Amino acid sequence: MAVAAPSPPPQGQAAASAGNDTLRVTDAQGDPRQPGGDHIFRWLSLTAVLVMMATLLGLVLSLVSGGWMALSHFGISFFTTSTWDPVADQYGAAAPIVGTLITSFLALLLALPVAIGVAVFLVEICPQMIARWLAIAVELLAGIPSIVYGMWGLFVLAPWFAAHVQLPLMMAVTPGSWLETLISGVPNGANIFTASLILAVMILPYIAAILRELLMSVPSHMREAAYGLGCTQREVVMRIMLPYVRKSAIGAVMLGLGRALGETMAVTFIIGNSHNFPGSLFDSGSTISSTIANEFTEATGDMHISALIALGLVLFLITFATIATARLLLGRGGPK
């Protein structure tokens, strides 16, 4: 996803676009022109808008109607229990929901400092000639298909992580300590933490690109005034530039979070797919998307299918809440 420049403030558009489309202009003979053609086009474009809204509505309705059976049957226990038993038709979604939230927020935690660092480096510190190329390089990360991340995670990151992080830690830690419980888990690299790592690498370019655009939009007179007073780069960035973009930046961060919440392929390969509630960071878990992807085409019981669609509804609601907050904070000043 490339990034467009923020829209310039509207310049006196109000008059032209206030919906007054029946301009009484006369034609060559002096008779008033008929706006017939304009009506068709206007309604055509409005229909397109309605089609899109109908899609969203249809999506929500299908999720609600499909998931209703499971939600009404299990009620609140759907969210609080973690027994996922297709044999006994007992479905508790606590594990995938928690897995989704943990991986996404952990990914954000890992990606955010790096993204801020990258954006600041590219805007303030790096010579602009190199910065252009580096920016393209960082955006290359965004262009890599998610399935490649999944494959790289399973075949490269997981074994490396198991051999170089998990095993040494497990050997070095004292048995019975709280640290041991924190890192307990099968030493094969397929766990919540590595899934979060992959997600962090995936959302890093989005956040960095938006932050970079936002930082570039800081009026130069403010920066120059600060430098003129003798501030170091750190002070200019931390005291002037970041606070200036803070509100929009938070919105950008939430967009990155939204992306992490919905990611399916990269996570499915590497999270270990266990329906048990994760006991530690290095324990395998599952997310809502990976559960649906794994089980949907094969679920045969009606309750099983309904439980999966209910999971989808939960994911939609979580994403909706995140994006809604992002939009409110970001306003319309942000690129995609």
Partner 1 sequence: MTASKPTNANFDRFLHARRKLYNYIFLGLTGLATAIALAALALILETLVVKGVAGLDIHVFTMSQPAPDMAGGLLNAIVGSLIMCAIGMVIALFVGILAGTWLAEYGDGTKLATVVRFLNDILISAPSILIGLFVYELLVRPFHGFSAAAGGVALALLAMPVATRATEDIMRMQPNALREAGMALGANRGHVIRSIIWRASKSGLMTGALLSFARISGETAPLLFTSLGNPFLSYKLTQPMASMPTTIFQFAMSAYDDWQRLAWAGALLIAVAVLTTNIIGRALTRGSTHK
Partner 2 sequence: MLKQIIIGAGLAVTLTGAAHADNFTGAGATFPAPVYTAWAQAYKGATGNELNYQAIGSGGGIRQIEAKTVDFGATDKPLKIEDLNKNGLSQFPTVVGGIVPIVNLPGVNPGQLHLTGDIIANMYLGRVTRWNDPAITRINPGLRLPGLPVTVVHRSDGSGTTFIFTTYLAHKSQAWANTVGANDSVNWKTGLGGKGNDGVAAFVKQTPGSIGYVEYIYSRKDKVTYALVQNAVGQFPQPNGGAFAAAAASAPWGKIPGNYIMLIDQPGRNAWPISGATFILVPKNPENPARAAAVLRFFDWAYKTGDKTAIGLDYVPLPGPVKDLIRRQWSNEIKAGGRPVYNGH
Rounded to 5°, angle at Cα 196 from 169 and 310: 130
Rounded-to-integer distance, Cα 110 and Cα 32, Å: 64
- Cβ 304 to partner 2, closest distance in Å? 8
126 interface partner picked from partner 2, partner 1, none, CB below 5 to 8 A per type: partner 1
- Cβ 119 to partner 1, closest distance in Å? 9
Q: Name, in order, each residue with C-beta under 8 angstroms of 145's C-beta and a sequence gap of 6 or more.
A: none
Q: Which stretch binds partner 2 (CB under 8 A): 16-24, 51-59, 242-250, 273-281?
A: 273-281
Would you count residue 56 as binding partner 1 (CB under 8 A)? yes
Q: Which stretch binds partner 1 (CB under 8 A): 30-38, 76-84, 91-99, 164-172?
A: 30-38
Would you count residue 25 as binding partner 1 (CB under 8 A)? yes
Q: In Å, what is the CA distance from 130 to each residue of 140, 207, 217?
A: 15, 20, 19
Would you count residue 274 as binding partner 2 (CB under 8 A)? yes
Would you count residue 63 as binding partner 1 (CB under 8 A)? yes
Please check whether residue 106 is in contact with residue 201, taking contact to mean a CB–CB distance below 8 angstroms: no
Q: Which stretch binds partner 2 (CB under 8 A): 29-37, 86-94, 174-182, 310-318?
A: 86-94
299 interface partner picked from partner 1, partner 2, none, CB below 5 to 8 A per type: partner 2
Give 90 or 233: the residue with its C-beta nearer to partner 2.
90
Rounded-to-integer distance, Cα 83 and Cα 194, Å: 24
Packed helices 94-120 and 288-295: angle between N→C axes, nearest 10 degrees: 120
- Amino acid letter for position 91: Y
Would you count residue 275 as binding partner 2 (CB under 8 A)? yes
Would you count residue 234 as binding partner 1 (CB under 8 A)? yes
Which residue in 115, 154, 309, 330 binds partner 2 (CB under 8 A)? 154
Residue with tokens 């006991």: 279
For every residue of 57-68, DSSP letters joined together read HHHHHHHHHHHH
Q: For residue 32, what are the β-bridge partners?
A: 26
Give 103 or 146: the residue with its C-beta nearer to partner 1.
146
